[in-house]
Structure 1
Amino acid sequence: MIEIDDRELDTLLAEDPGGPVVMLNLLRFRPDGCRGSYQRYAEALGQSINARYGLSAEYRGNGGRALVAEDGQAWDMSRARPPPRPEGVRRHDPRPREPGGRSLAQRGAGGVRVAAGNAGRALMPAVFVHGNPETAAVWEPLLAELAAVRSDVVCLSPPGFGAPLPAGFGATQAEYRDWLVKELMAFGEPVDLVGHDWGGAHVVNVVLSRPALVRSWASDVLGIYDPGYEWHVPARRWQTPGAGEDDVAARFGGTAEERAAALVERGMSRQVAARVAAGQDEAMGRAVLALYRSAAEPGALGVGLELERAAARPGLAVLATADGVVGTDEQRRRSAGRAGARSAVLKGLGHRWMTEDPAVGAAALTEFWETIRYR
């Protein structure tokens, strides 16, 4: 039994008992007509409470039969259940506990660690979305560095990229945006959203269309939204009928060892490359062709929405200085300005910065999250 106030309810919902959580409210009404005022109050407040906690009412009685009551009193009961949680997700209280308190995390010689006084503080989910031609394994070194400061981390694998490619899924920009919207809605609270490569584009496209699903966002591909951006050579090949099919057949064929060696040549660490290569297949090749071809026309990126709309939520432009496929430095900075995003410069790192120096990447994200901690 708990006293129903914000802190107690948040604490209850932050726990993970390993099964469904059901909340029963037993209400007692005075005989002077307060039932009607409570009903009006509940109807007015219900929508915002459900949006905040993701609860849904399964039953609300009518109080017509007194169960245990003093003379002249009526009782009622309501039952509410949180929605199913995405696999691997634990619900945390998204609100800060100590405004103006100590720094969330500090960077030391060993990478990122929890600052004194902040261990165990709950955060809303941090959601990571990877790109092409990858699986979620690409995030593993970075997430190891972040483990001390983010206890609620989820990796979402876009269809075809480490997850099955469903029948009827066309693998276009718009379909990936809609897929990510659906996944984020399941959390029941805004998230800190991080995207790399095409995952970074999916992140931006969600923020442009559904900013309420996001507390903050980070992307390493903002340069591709610049009007002067030109697709890199492999992208132009994938966008070309015939040549694209030949490329993906060669790229995703062969043995896992051969695919891993090719990834290492392109800058991925050997250990991560082996895990990513194991998830590459013919379906990934089909998804690559469809996705790049859906973005081939000038202005197609953003799915018809202007980049300036991204400023609705705090954003971070990850600028890896040796990344040669996401636009020039000028294009990336110009796009970051249009999106209202801060910039984190990762000097000397390339396209797969999260595997090259994960400690540097973790520090950049942690410092960004600290700037919005108490918003």
Structure 2
Amino acid sequence: MPSCGRQMVGGCHELDAGKADTGDGSARPLINRVGWQVKSIICQPPSCFDQYPVSFVSNSKKAFTMQNSSIPPITQAFQFVGGFALTQAAKAFVELGIPDFLKDGVQTADEIATHCGTHPETTFRFLRFLSKQGLVEIDGKDCRLTPVGNFFRTDVPVNLTKALQIATFEPWQQVWANLGYTLRTGEKAFTYVHKQEPWEYLSEHPEYGKPFNEYQTHLSKMGAAALVGAYDFSGFKTICDVGGGHGYLLKTILEKYPQARGILFDLPPVVASADLGAAAGRCEVVGGSFFEKIPAADCLILKSILHDWSNEKALDILKSCTASLNPGGKILVMDMVIMEGGNPMSYFYDMHMLVLFGGRERTQEEMTELFGKAGLKITRFIPTQGPQFIAEAVLK
């Protein structure tokens, strides 16, 4: 938070140096000391996602179970064999519009088949299969949506429809089919398979690039709510969103904090389509590369940026931030953080970012070391009501 505004949104507590609350009364290492010591503060923000299951949005250790001991080992093992079918079944579930059709309550299998234009008996068998995966509940021929299936409706703020669409992209599937290349070399499989960088490929293939960009906008909306709900920007005069896309996150911040002025910074073709709404009069739009020069500001935000890149490239980005940060300013990096017993999404995305982009999710210790090399000191990790943390850093 800004140096003049250490007010916390929601209850917060200061922890013993280098320890973080696990949610069960115990403590675990929070930050690896790399030539310096830090006493971190964890802030517990108010929930902006209360209507959604805790296992999706929470960073609490209690929210996650990596293994269900009630399922026989052979059944758990077979999930790796049939997992491909679950993804494709979920895709058909969404493409047929079944979750949206069930949003108002119970429908029979025949009614669903009529609505979707599908074969009645096969539709019932499909729904019966989905019921064993937890997406629907079946009672005779009646079918209702479960809380898990609710995430595949298109009309709820937090939904996985775009994520599922992208996960089933053929280019993505081909990359994961070559995971062995990444394991042997440590390099991303995307360029090995497609002979192009991912961003170039998406630009040249709009059938994939368009839904990918739409999904990024969707993530920006969720991330904006989580960030604004967890962090107090009232002490900053200038806020720069580094790699800020079309400006949704920055617009959300400026709407809540009228005292601030914003800088939207991204590649020129990206910011050419900026949409800042009513906040446009208080915002400067700047095109450029964060590997070169970043506009000076009191607060630099990097949301879902560093995880796209290797440690070497991420260090270059942080050094650019160090050179541009105004005296007394803060750098906020919003990414998932890998923790023992933490959100399993972070472990998946660590591998996903590796095979696709050569990037990674990082532990608190890895982030601390990386920031230190860039002349920065992480003062605290702040959990949000989404799956990401905010790493707040200052100049050493």
| TM-score, reference length from structure 1 | 0.28
| TM-score, reference length from structure 2 | 0.27
Higher alpha-carbon Rg: 1
